């Protein structure tokens, strides 16, 4: 489902294919100011959103004719809940994107740490071998006790 723009214009369908998806995303992310639009909530009908034109027309008729003096208008409640639903969708999408960035950062950091660990283990092995060789050289170069007597 997407909301129409407050000025009544929806995105142009004659735009190139590349820009079409961007404008669709903008429409999905855009939440109109309810005070600027009034108390009516105009929904655009997509095949997959389950809202048909007749329901929208009935909703608009109820809004224009039946206003209660006290309490919230049911259509206004519906608009507010729809607006909240759209905000939640946007927020959830942003959270998913943040999570992807976080996970990829953690994976790259884990790879860096693993590479660093491998290098350090190799250095340890080299130093241990060098230490062993030096000990053997030290033992071989010491004067023997038998040579002194």
Could you report the average pLDDT of every consecutive run of 10 residues in the chain (149 residues)? 48 48 61 52 48 58 53 86 97 98 99 99 99 96 70
User: Tokens in use for 111?
Assistant: 């790879």
Q: What is the pLDDT of residue 22?
A: 60
As beta bridge partners, residue 44 has 2
In a domain, 98, yes or no: yes
- Has residue 119 been placed in a domain? no
Is 92 a member of any domain? yes
Tell me, what's the pLDDT at 130? Answer: 98
Q: What's the confidence (pLDDT) of residue 142?
A: 86
Kindly report the pTM of this predicted structure.
0.44
Which residue range forms the structural domain that includes residue 19? 2-104
Q: Is residue 130 part of a domain?
A: no
Spacing of C-alpha 123 from chain mean position:
41
Do the domain assignments include residue 123? no
Tell me whether residue 113 is in a domain: no
Instruction: Write down the pLDDT at residue 75.
Output: 86
Residue 63 lies in a domain: yes
- Look at the chain and count its residues: 149
* pLDDT on residue 29: 61
In a domain, 32, yes or no: yes
Whole-number pLDDT of residue 8: 47
pLDDT at 39: 47
Q: 């030290």: which residue's tokens? A: 138
Predicted pLDDT of residue 72: 73
Query: What is the number of domains present in the chain?
Result: 1
Q: Please, what sign has the CA dihedral across residues 100, 101, 105, 108? A: positive
Residue 47: predicted pLDDT: 45
């Amino acid at each position: 489902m997407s909301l129409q723009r407050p000025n009544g214009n929806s995105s142009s369908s004659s735009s190139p294919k590349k820009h079409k998806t961007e404008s669709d995303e903008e429409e999905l992310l855009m939440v109109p100011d309810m005070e600027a639009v009034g108390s009516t909530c105009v929904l655009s009908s997509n095949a997959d959103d389950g809202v048909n034109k007749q329901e929208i027309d009935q909703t608009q008729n109820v809004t224009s004719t039946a206003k209660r003096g006290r309490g919230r208008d049911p259509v206004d409640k519906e608009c507010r809940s729809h607006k909240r639903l759209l905000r939640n969708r946007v927020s959830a999408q942003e959270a998913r994107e943040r999570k992807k960035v976080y996970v990829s950062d953690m994976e790259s950091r884990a790879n860096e740490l693993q590479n660093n660990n491998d290098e350090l283990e190799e250095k340890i092995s080299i130093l241990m071998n060098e230490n062993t060789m030096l000990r053997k050289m030290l033992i071989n170069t010491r004067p023997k006790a038998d040579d002194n007597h």
